[in-house]
Homo-oligomer: A and B are copies of this chain.
Amino acid sequence: MSNLERIAKLSGFSKATVSRVLNHSPHVSQETRATILQIMKELDYVPNRNAISLSTGQTLQIGMITSSINEIMLPFLNGFVEVAEQHGFQTIIYTTNDDTSKERQAFEDLRQKRVDALVIISCVTSAKEVESYCKYGPIVSWQRMDNPAIGSVAMDQFKGYTLALDHLIPKGHTRIANALGRTYSINTRSRQQAYEQAMQKYNLPVLRQFYYPSTYTILDGERVMRAMLQQSEALPSAILCSNDHVAAGVLCEARRQHLRVPGDLAIVGFDDTELSHTLGITTIRNPIAAQAQNAFHLLSGPLRGIDMPQAELCFELIERTTT
C-alpha cells in the first residue's frame, strides 16, 4: 500500500507539501503540484479516510436514527441523503426498532466520533438523555422534541390537521374518527388537540371512542375499518388518518365491506404519497423533503460554520375522490 509518506519520498518533497496538494492549498507551485500528482497517479494512491478523520476530527458522516425504514419516512430519508451528499456528507442509518439500547449505540457513535452529527427521525430515548449527547455534536430531530436544546424541523401537525377539519366540517361531516400514530408523540397530541378544538369550535361531539392509536400501515388501516364497523355505535361519517397508508387500508377494507366512499365514509390521509395519488385519496401534503433539507441546514451551522437559511414550509390539502 502506498501512503502519503511514500509519495513524499518518491517526489522528493515533504509530507506537508504532498498534503497541501491533496487539499488544494494555493501555496504549492504549479510544477510541484504536477510532479506530485503524477506520482500519485502512477502509484494509484488514495488517502486513507480513517487517517484523515483521525487528524481532522471530522468523519463527514451523519447518523440517522429511525425505528425502521418504511415508506413514510422515505421522502425524508432521500431528501436528507441528497442534500447531505451535495455537501460532502454521507448518511449512516441506524435502524433501532424503537429499542433504546440500539438508539444508545447511535448516540455513542456520535460520542466516539464515528459520525459528526445525528438526525432523529424517530426515537424513544428521553429528551433529557438525548440532550446529554448534544455536547458531542449537533443533533436535529424530525420528530418534535420536548427539549429546546435539540433542533427540530417537524412541522406543527396542528395546522395540517386543522386544514383537514376545515375541509370536512363544511361538507357536513359531524362525526369524525381518528386513526392516530404513536400514542405519546407530540404529533399525535397535536393532532388530537386540533381535532378537539375544531369540534368545540363547531360545537360537535368529540368521539374519543373512535380514536384508534398506533396505526401506521395499510394493515392497520384495515383493522381500523373493521373495528369501526364492530363498534355498537353508528359509523362516523369521516375518518382522519395518520398517514396515507392507513387511509389506503381503510379505503380498501371499506370497499370490501361495500361501503360507499365518500358517501358512507369520507377518508383523509396525510403526506400525499404516491399511494394516495394512485388510490385517489384526499390528503394533506406535508413538504417532507423540504423538512429534510432544513434538517441538514440546521446541522450546517455547527458542522461547517455555515449558516444556511431554513425554507418556509406549509401544508396543503389535496382534494381527491374520498371526500
Contact = CB atoms under 8 A, between A and B. Distances in A.
A61 B102 CA distance: 16
Interface in A260-294: 274-275, 277-279
Contacts of A112: 46-49
Interface string A189-222: 0000000000000000000000000000111001
User: How many monomers of this chain does the complex have?
Assistant: 2
Contacts of A114: 49-50, 90
A219 B279 CA distance: 10
Contacts of A49: 109, 112-114
A278 B222 contact: yes
A77 interface: yes
A93 B113 contact: no
A contact face: mostly helix, strand, loop, or mixed: helix
Contact of A278 (B46, B77, B93, B219): B219
A243 interface: no
A95 interface: yes
Interface of A: 46-51, 53-54, 59, 61, 68-71, 74, 77-78, 81-82, 85, 90-95, 102, 108-109, 111-114, 217-219, 222, 248-249, 252, 274-275, 277-279
Contacts of A92: 61, 90-93
A81 B54 contact: no
B219 A274 contact: yes
Given A49-B112, A219-B278, 19 more contacts: A46-B108, A46-B111, A47-B112, A48-B54, A49-B113, A49-B114, A50-B54, A50-B59, A50-B113, A68-B78, A69-B77, A81-B93, A81-B95, A90-B92, A90-B94, A91-B92, A91-B93, A217-B274, A248-B278
28 contacts: A46-B108, A46-B112, A48-B113, A49-B112, A50-B50, A50-B59, A50-B113, A54-B54, A61-B92, A69-B74, A70-B74, A71-B71, A78-B95, A81-B93, A81-B95, A90-B94, A91-B92, A91-B93, A92-B93, A93-B93, A218-B274, A218-B275, A219-B277, A222-B278, A248-B278, A249-B278, A252-B278, A252-B279
Contacts of A95: 78, 81-82, 85
Contacts of A46: 108, 111-112
A288 to B, nearest CB: 14
A192 B187 CA distance: 48
A315 to B, nearest CB: 24
Contacts of A82: 95
A48 B110 CA distance: 10
The 10 closest A-B pairs by CB, nearest first: A50-B54, A50-B53, A49-B114, A49-B112, A218-B278, A46-B112, A81-B95, A92-B92, A54-B54, A46-B111
